[in-house]
Amino acid sequence: DGGITQSPKYLFRKEGQNVTLSCEQNLNHDAMYWYRQDPGQGLRLIYYSQIVNDFQKGDIAEGYSVSREKKESFPLTVTSAQKNPTAFYLCASSIRGSGYEQYFGPGTRLTVT
Amino acid sequence: GQQVMQIPQYQHVQEGEDFTTYCNSSTTLSNIQWYKQRPGGHPVFLIQLVKSGEVKKQKRLTFQFGEAKKNSSLHITATQTTDVGTYFCAGKWNTGNQFYFGTGTSLTVIP
């Protein structure tokens, strides 16, 4: 059963704690993406990676970090430096970067209090 | 930064009525994609347009890319309750690798 998995679906953290969101894909896609979705707004790109061991900042990378050590995995860490971390986080992948359809995971809803 | 404007933000229609959402860019796009997100779900790819003036159809959905590649529309004919959700466009320019998403149009269909 191919696809993208994100876990957990809901995550609660106290302010000041770092938290890592998991994203795994078994589609053999080269490119992976992290988006943030807030109510009434579109998806905003946090980071993307077109190949293993390489990633680029999106428009709202401040307060986030990523790694891409394996093709299948692209974890996102929300650090304590992120001022408004409560949001719905979506991971996506595409067969290659730049110009291909993106397949989205089910998302993780992070609440920081 | 780069922006794709999408209107309207919300649309309520009676079942059977038509629906259209529009996306606009101030500069020429190279590609535009459309996605649908059901309530509580994740975006699902619908289509990609790349050619000037392109028109593509998927059953009751018609997608258009403007001649100048600065605007696009999604039209749904005779809406059904299964069409409920938020429709996003995502545009890409020749410079850069990322797609920029519009703010989405939330469609409610009243039975």
Three state DSSP letters for B26-64: CCCCCEEEEEEECCCCCEEEEEEECCCCCEEEECCEEEE
Decide if A45 touches B, using CB distance below 8 A: yes
B33 vs A35, A56, A101: nearest CB: A101
Contact criterion met (CB below 8 Å) for B36 and B46: yes
Q: What pLDDT is stored for residue B3 in this prediction?
A: 86
A88 contact B CB<8A: no
Q: Is the pLDDT of residue A5 over 90?
A: yes
Q: How far is A80 from chain B (nearest CA, A)?
A: 26
Decide if A99 and B103 are in contact by the 8 Å CB cutoff. Answer: no
Of B42, B44, B103, the CB nearest to A42: B103
Q: What percent of chain A has pLDDT over 90?
A: 86
Chain B residues in contact with A92 (beta carbon < 8 A): 43
- % of chain A surpassing 70 pLDDT: 98
Q: Taking CB atoms and an 8 Å cutoff, what residues of chain B touch A21?
A: none
Cis peptide before A8 (omega within 30 of 0): yes
pLDDT digits (tens, 9 = 90+) for B46-70: 999 999 999 999 999 999 999 999 9
B105 min Cα distance to partner chain A (Å): 9
Average pLDDT for A55-69: 96
Categorize the per-residue pLDDT at A42 as very low, low, confident or very high, splitting at 50, 70 and 90: confident
Partners of A101 on chain B (C-beta within 8 Å) are: 33, 45, 48
- Give me the pLDDT at residue A96, please: 85
Q: Are A94 and A101 in contact (CB under 8 A)?
A: yes
Regions of chain B with pLDDT less than 70: 1
Strands B10-14 and B105-110: parallel
Residue A18 pLDDT level (bands cut at 50, 70, 90): very high
